[in-house]
Amino acid sequence: MKKTFILIAIIAAGIFSQSCQNKSGEAATDFIGENVKFAAEQYGLQIAEIEKSDKVLNPKSIINGKMKYISPQEWTSGFFPGSLWYIYELSSDEKWKPLATKYTEALDTIQYFTGNHDVGFMIYCSYGNALRLTGNEAYKNVIVNAAKSLSTRFRPGAGIIQSWNANKKKDWTCPVIIDNMMNLELMFEATKFSGDSSFYNIAVTHADNTIKHHYRPDYSTWHVVDYDPETGDIRHKNTHQGFSDESAWARGQAWGIYGFTLCYRETGDRKYLEQAEKAFEFLANHPNMPADGVPYWDFNAPNIPNENRDASTAAILASALYEMSTYDNSEYYKGWADKIVQSLSSAEYRANLGENGHFILKHSVGSLPHNSEVDVPLNYADYYFLEALKRKRDLERK
In what helix (H) or strand (E) does residue 164 lie, and over which residues does it extend? none
> Can you give the length of the chain in residues?
398
Is residue 100 within 8 A of residue 81, CB to CB? The reply is yes
The type of residue at 365 is V
Cβ neighbours around 303 below 10 Å, total: 8
What residues contact residue 167 under an 8 Å CB cut-off, 6+ apart? 175
Q: Considering only CA atoms, which of 104, 135, 136, 134 is closest in space to residue 122?
A: 104
DSSP 8-state assignment for residue 352: P
The strand order across the sheet containing 175-177 reads: 175-177, 224-227, 234-238
Tell me how far apart the 2 most distant CA atoms of the chain are, in Å: 87
Instruction: Tell me the DSSP string of 319-344.
Output: HHHHHHTTTS-HHHHHHHHHHHHHHH
Alpha helices for the chain (secondary structure H)? 2-52, 79-91, 96-105, 119-123, 129-134, 138-151, 184-194, 197-214, 250-267, 270-284, 311-324, 330-344, 379-397
Euclidean distance between CA atoms 241 and 251, whole angstroms: 9
Binding-site positions for substrate: 118, 179, 239, 251, 255, 367
DSSP 8-state assignment for residue 347: T
Is residue 262 within 8 A of residue 323, CB to CB? The reply is yes
Radius of gyration of the chain (CA): 22
Binding-site positions: 118, 179, 239, 251, 255, 367
Residue 48: strand, helix, or coil: helix
280, exposed or middle or buried, with CB in 10 Å at 0-12, 13-18, 19+? buried
The type of residue at 137 is E
- The residues assigned a catalytic role are 118, 179
| Helix 379-397 with 330-344: angle, nearest 10 deg | 130
